[in-house]
Amino acid sequence: MEKLKIGIIGLGTVGSGVYKTLQNIDMVEVVKVAVRNLNKPRSVEVPKELLTDNPYEIINNPEIEVVVELIGGIEPAWEYISNSIKNGKHIVTANKELLAKKGEELFNLAEEYNRVCLYEAAIAGGIPIIMPIKTILAGNKITNIKAILNGTTNYILTKMDVDGASYEDVLKEAQALGYAETDPTGDVEGFDAAYKITTLATIAFKKRVKIENVYREGITKVRKEDMAQANEFGYKIKLIANASIDEEGNADVRVHPMLVKQDSMLAHIDYVTNAVQMTGHPIGSIVLSGPGAGEFPTASSVVGDILAIQAEKGTTDYMLPMMRCHHDSKANPVHIDDTVNKYYISITAPNAIGVIAKIGTICANKNISLESILQREVSENNTADIIVITEKCKEKLIKEVVQELDNCTVNSLIRVAE
């Protein structure tokens, strides 16, 4: 069987894992590897003749059939990918930001030039998710996704829960261990998970979801006190990427912390592990879980995509039709204010007669029922901590409640998963 000839752009953590993995696979030949700095020390030995600091030695090489893009970001990745497609090359990428922001343009270009673009590694690292949705689950109508898609934030929240530590202290530890970047904004503010759920919802719902319509909220405001309170009420706090769609094509897609029940599967996804729970018909509810990042888990998905192309080589003029994007309709975005949720609210209020009654009255005036309300001990400054968990209500109403809680401090407002 003739070898598939590929070029790799990027030799960081994932690129190194891909190169190492391919050394044991005879059906693929790495023709060239593009790096930014030829002299940088690396964890992998690559023959000097394979290395280049000019990606166009890959893009313009007629011998190379597949370009593997592993540098991330929008530019220059989009320039390299688009020119590669125009030069007749198939694409394998792990670039979640590019897919979220330019996915429609990317897939339209690939279709125009009859090329395939595979991206299994871009959603959940080593967890197979895109190909199962496109193949084994193709007969299902998926209506809901709840997922933990970022290992850094899941590690931080798990450590806060287990150790009773603050966000700031755990972040420093995670950075020291290499689980969090020096600038962790992309992870802790929810950008990474938002990119991933945008593409995942688009594929699962068969309707395009726009990143600008995805609500995003990070974990930086979650307190150790919230973790303790959640446990007392029978919950864990996780950063959840949530997507649901109704019969009219209205899609509610968002990323934010949530209280999830302790007896749920997602409550037990700890540290850097990721998980995707999907609900649909006829499958019901399934959970796929595993390593969501890292050198070899992510390389596993990248190499799987490469081998999928290799298996089709020379057999058809229209490669991997099931893996292509065939839907043009767009999902109708649901604004966060129009979503319906339960809420956990932590309030510091004056220790005075009628405060709890006042909170109840404000909620009742908005037709919001309370599932539970609990007052903690009185502090030295004569204030009390009050914990409220509501029944389901509209987001815009709970915001109005918060605004009307004068003389009170709302420490935390976190949505509660059903």
Interval 122-163: pLDDT, tens: 999 999 999 999 999 999 999 999 999 999 999 999 999 999
358-363 mean pLDDT: 94
278-295 mean pLDDT: 95
**Is the confidence at residue 276, as pLDDT, over 90?**
yes
Give the distance, in angstroms, between the CA of residue 322 and the centroid of all CA atoms in the same chain: 23
pLDDT band at 223 (very low <50, low <70, confident <90, very high): very high
Which residues, in sequence order, are CB contacts of 287 under 8 Å at separation 6+?
Answer: 265, 266, 275, 276, 277, 278
| Owner of token pair 């002299």 | 39
pLDDT band at 376 (very low <50, low <70, confident <90, very high): confident
Which residue spans within 119-203 are E strands per DSSP? Answer: 141-148
**What is the DSSP pairing of strand 340-350 with strand 273-281?**
unpaired
Q: Rounded distance, CA 273 to CA 52, Å?
A: 35
pLDDT mean across residues, the chain: 96
**Is the confidence at residue 25, as pLDDT, over 80?**
yes
What domains appear along the chain, each with residue ranges and CATH number?
4-124+295-323 (3.40.50.720), 130-291 (3.30.360.10), 336-416 (3.30.70.260)
How long, in residues, is the chain? 418
**Is the confidence at residue 380, as pLDDT, over 80?**
no
Catalytic residues: 196
**Is the confidence at residue 204, as pLDDT, over 90?**
yes
| Owner of token pair 């990721």 | 274
Q: What was the pLDDT predicted at 352? A: 85
200-225 mean pLDDT: 97
CB 82 within 8 A of CB 110: no
Interval 304-322: pLDDT, tens: 999 999 999 999 999 999 9
Interval 65-84: pLDDT, tens: 999 999 999 999 999 999 99
pTM over 0.85: yes
CB 191 within 8 A of CB 185: yes
Q: Rounded distance, CA 410 to CA 418, Å?
A: 23
Which residues, in sequence order, are CB contacts of 384 under 8 Å at separation 6+?
Answer: 348, 349, 350, 351, 355, 375, 376, 377, 378
HSE value, Cβ hemisphere, 13 Å, CA-based, for 298:
26
With CA atoms as reference, report the closest residue to 211 among 195, 189, 188. Answer: 195
Q: Indicate the residue type of 120.
A: E
Q: Rounded distance, CA 362 to CA 380, Å?
A: 27
Give the distance, in angstroms, between the CA of residue 156 and the centroid of all CA atoms in the same chain: 16
With CA atoms as reference, report the closest residue to 294 among 273, 269, 268. Answer: 273
Q: Rounded distance, CA 96 to CA 320, Å?
A: 21
**Is the confidence at residue 177, as pLDDT, over 90?**
no
Tell me whether residue 90 is exposed, middle or buried, using C-beta atoms within 10 angstroms of its C-beta: 0 to 12, 13 to 18, 19 or more: buried
- Radius of gyration of the CA atoms of the chain, in A: 24
Give the distance, in angstroms, between the CA of residue 197 and the centroid of all CA atoms in the same chain: 5
Q: Rounded distance, CA 258 to CA 33, Å?
A: 42
Residues in a beta bridge with 146: 242, 277
With CA atoms as reference, report the closest residue to 32 among 56, 3, 2, 1. Answer: 56
**Is the confidence at residue 19, as pLDDT, over 90?**
yes
**Is the confidence at residue 237, as pLDDT, over 90?**
yes
